[in-house]
């Protein structure tokens, strides 16, 4: 069956339908990872987005459900050059196409993903539609695409009630903004007792549980939509409880302390982004997935200092808060799938909690 990808600027790509056949409108972004497509599909940070994979063949090692980063995929759509029909992997439980069908994810194959990526890099991330309606009216589609808004998607992906994972070590409160499973696993393997809270949980409730540390997780959408969470994060910051924040959590802590965030032209999404530790001068390869960034000039130098920068474009990749046990990074140290260069940051968090005891 034919399928069409229509961008809000009028570009139309024709391809073949994969996965579900529902018509979807979403933000169109691209990811440069060569592997980890299942983790990309199930990362809650992609809620409200359709992802174009730049690597030309996707699905060659199939799907192992154990590798999922959430209970279900959150993407609206999936865009590929070619999808593997017969995966080869002893761990594979199904093909990527069957996974898309089972989870009602609309996809399109046969798109010139290189051309699409060039458009998004030159013009910036834009909204688009995937449809199997061959008799679509372009003007009507463009009107509907431009009228579509992503909304406050953190509320869609966050847990609905508190959940406790047992452990004998430090008690860590995880504020679920769209948490990836491997963040929780990274804490559990270090012996932590992990309690996961919904995104808008009052700070007083979290403080009453007496955590040794607080983790602010990754998540989707515009950080400025998280007004309630930002207020609660500020209350948590004003305590002496150590805080470690990743991705969206990094942005929210900056906003809570008077900083500002801005939407990037096309964002950072992939498993090959170099970041530099300004303290040591070392460069690490990181996994990233974000469309917003903290504005360096907006940070109060009496409150915070930049700790990591992106080697490619110089954007803020980490912040250290002065006089506080609080550090944040824009990239993903849990890195699944991806490089494990910065996994040590979880050990730094463990040390922060030990020192504060």
The 10 Å Cβ neighbour count of residue 292 is: 18
Which one of the listed residues 250, 268, 273, 332 is annotated catalytic? Answer: 332
Q: In 3-state terms, what secondary structure has residue 141?
A: helix
Question: Does the annotation place 46 within a ligand binding site?
Answer: no
Q: Which H or E element spans position 248?
A: helix 248-256
> 227 φ, ψ to 5°?
-60, -45
Q: Which of 52, 141, 226, 247 is catalytic?
A: 247
Residue 251 marked as a ligand binder:
yes
Q: What angle do CA 167, 168, 169 make, to 5 degrees?
A: 100
Q: Which of 52, 141, 334, 336 is catalytic?
A: 334
Residue pair 101/20 in contact by the 8 Å Cβ criterion: yes
Q: Is 93 a catalytic residue?
A: no
CA 69 to CA 324: how far, in whole Å?
A: 31
Q: Is 323 annotated as a binding residue?
A: no
Is 291 known as a binding-site position?
A: yes
Q: Is 289 marked as binding a ligand?
A: yes
Strands 193-198 and 163-165: antiparallel
Please, what is the end-to-end C-alpha distance for the chain in angstroms? 61
Alpha carbons 229 and 300: distance in angstroms, whole number: 21
Cα–Cα distance list, 248 to 181, 228, 285, 343 (Å): 16, 14, 19, 18
**Catalytic annotation present for 226:** no
Contact of 179 with 141, CB cutoff 8 Å: no
Whether residue 292 is annotated as binding a ligand: the answer is yes
Q: Is 8 a catalytic residue?
A: no
Q: Is the dihedral of CA 31, 33, 35, 40 positive or negative?
A: negative
Binding site as annotated, residues? 45, 219, 221, 248, 251, 289, 291-292
Provide the annotated active-site residues.
247, 332, 334
Binding site as annotated, residues for L-glutamine? 45, 219, 221, 248, 251, 289, 291-292
């Amino acid at each position: 069956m034919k399928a069409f990808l229509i961008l809000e600027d009028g570009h139309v790509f024709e391809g073949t339908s994969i996965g579900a056949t529902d018509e979807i409108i979403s933000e169109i972004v691209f990811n440069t990872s060569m592997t980890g497509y299942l983790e990309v599909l199930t990362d809650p940070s992609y809620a409200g987005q359709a992802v174009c994979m730049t690597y030309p063949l996707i699905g060659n090692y199939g799907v192992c459900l154990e590798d999922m980063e959430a209970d279900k995929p959150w993407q609206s759509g999936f865009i590929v050059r070619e999808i593997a029909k017969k995966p080869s992997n002893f761990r594979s439980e199904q093909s990527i196409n069957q996974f898309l069908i089972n989870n009602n994810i609309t996809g399109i194959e046969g798109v010139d993903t290189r051309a699409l990526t060039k458009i998004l890099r030159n013009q910036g991330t834009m909204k688009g539609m995937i449809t199997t309606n061959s008799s679509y009216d372009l003007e009507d589609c463009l009107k509907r695409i431009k009228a579509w808004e992503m909304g406050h998607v953190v509320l869609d992906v966050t847990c609905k009630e508190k959940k406790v994972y047992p452990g004998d070590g430090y008690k860590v409160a995880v504020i679920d903004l769209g948490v990836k499973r491997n963040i929780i696993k990274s804490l559990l393997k270090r012996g932590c007792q992990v309690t996961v809270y919904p995104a808008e949980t009052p700070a007083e409730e979290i403080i009453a549980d007496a955590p040794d540390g607080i983790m602010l997780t990754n998540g989707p959408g515009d950080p400025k939509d998280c007004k309630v969470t930002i207020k609660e994060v500020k209350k948590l910051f004003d305590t002496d409880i150590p805080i470690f924040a990743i991705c969206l959590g990094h942005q929210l802590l900056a906003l809570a302390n008077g900083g500002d965030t801005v939407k990037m032209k096309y964002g950072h999404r992939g498993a090959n982004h170099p970041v530099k530790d300004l303290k040591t001068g070392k460069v690490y390869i990181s996994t990233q997935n974000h469309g917003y960034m903290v504005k360096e000039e907006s940070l109060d130098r009496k409150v915070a200092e930049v700790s990591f920068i992106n080697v490619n474009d110089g954007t803020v990749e980490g912040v250290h808060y002065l006089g506080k046990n609080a550090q944040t990074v824009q990239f993903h140290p849990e890195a699944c799938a991806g490089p494990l260069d910065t996994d040590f940051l979880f050990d730094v968090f463990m040390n922060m909690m030990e020192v504060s005891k």
